Amino acid sequence: MELRYLGRAGVKVSPICLGNMNFGSPACDEALSRKIMERAVEKGINFFDTANVYQKQVSEEILGRWLADGGAARRESLVIATKVFGKVGPTENDRGLSRYHILRSCEASLKRLKTDRIDLYQCHHWDTAPIEETLRAMDDLVRAGKVVYWGTSNFKAWHLTEATLKAEAAHAAVPVSEQSPYSVLNRHVENELAPFCMKFGVRMLPWSPLNGGRLSGLYRKGKPIEDTPRNKSEAYRKALEKNMDLLEGLARLADELGRPLAHLAYAFLFRQPHVGSVINGPRTLEHLDESVAALDLKLSDDVLKKIDELVPPGTAPDYVGW
Ligand SMILES: NC(=O)c1ccc[n+]([C@@H]2O[C@H](COP(=O)([O-])OP(=O)(O)OC[C@H]3O[C@@H](n4cnc5c(N)ncnc54)[C@H](OP(=O)(O)O)[C@@H]3O)[C@@H](O)[C@H]2O)c1
C-alpha cells in the first residue's frame, strides 16, 4: 500500500486508517479485534485510530494490550492516533479541551495504550475552552515527546483557521489533520473544510466513509433489511428509508462498474485531493478486506459526474443520519 504524508506532518501513513471504534463492542470482542488488527497490518495499513471514549475506554485498552504483546517491532511500525474531549469522569472538568483535562487525559490514554507516545493526538470536538489554552497544552505535550503530532476532529473551517493561525503566531505545533464525517452521501465538508485543507496543507481523515454502513450495499430497494448491530435504531432506519432512492441510485452506479457499492463509496473518498487517509470501521475481517479491495478502483470523470448528479458537491440529503 503506497504511503502518503499525514497532512502537514512529515510522517507517512497508509491511505486507509484502521478505525478501532467497534473494538470491544458486544459484536467485536478482543479476540476478533486482534485478528482485524493483524490482518490490517498484513495488508499494509500502518495507521490506527481510536479515542479515549470508544467503548468506554475498552477500545484503547484492547489496542494497548495488542501493541504490548507485539513488542517494539509492532509499536514502531505503526502510527497510533487517539482523541480527547469526551466526558470520562463524574466532574465538569473530566471533559473538553482545557489544559487541565488534556494533560490528564493524555496520561490516561498513554497508560491504556501501553506506549510512551501518541503519534497523532486529536481534539475530538470543538470546545468553548480558550483555543490558546488548548494550543499551549498540545504544544507542551509535543515538546515533552508524549505527543508527536496533533490534529482536530469535527472542527468547522473557522475553528481550524483560528487554531492554525494562532499556533503559527505562537511558534507552537500546528494541527496537521482534521477528522470529519465525509462520504458520498454527506458532502458538506466540501464547502469550507476542503478548501481550508488545500490552502493550509492540512489533510482530512474522513470518518464514517460508509455513512455508518448505509453505503455498505446491504440496502436495496424492495429488499428486506436484515438486522446488523448498527442498523436497529429508529434513527438509523429512518435515515435509510428517507434515502432509499438515493442509495439505490448509487448502488446501480456501482452495479454498472461491476463493483460493490462500498467500493464506490471508498473510491470516491480516495480520489479527493484534500483527503489524507480514509478511516474505515470494520466489525469483521470481511469489512476490512472490502475496504482494502476498493483501493484499485479508479473512478472516471463520467462516474464522478453521475455521482454529482445524485449528491451534488457540498450537499447532503435532508436526512442523512450524520
Ligand atoms: N471523529 C469522530 O467523531 C468519529 C466519529 C465516528 C467514527 N470515527 C472513526 O471513524 C471510524 C469509521 O467510522 P464508522 O465505523 O462509522 O464507519 P463506516 O464504515 O461508515 O461504518 C462502519 C459500519 O458499517 C458496516 N460495514 C462496514 N463495512 C461493511 C461492509 N463491507 N459490508 C457491510 N457492512 C459494513 C458495519 O456495520 P454493522 O456493524 O452494523 O454491520 C460497520 O460497523 C471509526 O472506527 C472511528 O475510528 C470518528
Q: Is the pLDDT of residue 260 over 90?
A: yes
Average pLDDT over residues 75-88: 98
Per residue in 219-251, pLDDT tens? 999 999 999 999 999 999 988 999 999 999 999
Alpha helices in 228-280 (DSSP H): 234-242, 244-257, 261-270
Question: Nearest CA to 46 among 82, 8, 75?
Answer: 75
Mention every residue, 6+ apart, whose C-beta is less than 8 A from residue 86: 51, 52, 53, 95, 124, 125
- Active site (catalytic) residues: 54
Per residue in 271-297, pLDDT tens? 999 999 999 999 999 999 999 999 999
**Does 229 sit in the ligand 1 pocket, CB within 6 Å?**
yes
Nearest-CA residue for ligand 1 atom 41 is: 228
Return the bridge partners of 147, or none: 118
**Does 290 sit in the ligand 1 pocket, CB within 6 Å?**
yes
**Does 206 sit in the ligand 1 pocket, CB within 6 Å?**
no
Distance of CA 12 from the midpoint of ligand 1 (Å):
23
CATH fold label, 4-215+261-301: TIM Barrel (3.20.20)
What is the residue type of 282? P
- CA gap 298, 281 in Å, rounded: 21
- CA gap 214, 266 in Å, rounded: 13
- CA gap 321, 314 in Å, rounded: 16
- CA gap 134, 140 in Å, rounded: 10
- CA gap 134, 102 in Å, rounded: 8
Residue with cell 489496542: 63
Q: Is the pLDDT of residue 116 over 70?
A: yes
Angle at 212 between CA 210 and CA 214, to 5 degrees: 65
Grouping H, G, I as helix, E, B as strand and the rest as coil, residue 69 is helix
Q: Name the least confident of 24-38, 130-144, 234-248, 259-273.
A: 234-248
**Does 19 sit in the ligand 1 pocket, CB within 6 Å?**
yes
For residue 61, CA distances in Å to 16, 110, 115, 145, 196 come to: 22, 10, 11, 21, 34
**Does 205 sit in the ligand 1 pocket, CB within 6 Å?**
no
Nearest-CA residue for ligand 1 atom 16 is: 208
Q: Give the pLDDT of residue 322.
A: 67
In this prediction, what percent of the chain has a pLDDT beyond 90?
97
Burial class (CB in 10 A: 0-12, 13-18, 19+), 227: exposed
Ligand 1 pocket test, pick from 17, 18, 21, 297 with the greatest ligand atom count within 8 Å of Cβ, gives 21
Distance of CA 281 from the midpoint of ligand 1 (Å):
3
Per residue in 165-198, pLDDT tens? 999 999 999 999 999 999 999 999 999 999 999 9
- CA gap 162, 156 in Å, rounded: 10
| Diameter over CA atoms, the chain | 58
In total, the chain counts a number of residues equal to 322
Q: Give the pLDDT of residue 318.
A: 82
Q: What is the pTM of this model?
A: 0.98
Nearest-CA residue for ligand 1 atom 21 is: 212
- CA gap 261, 247 in Å, rounded: 9
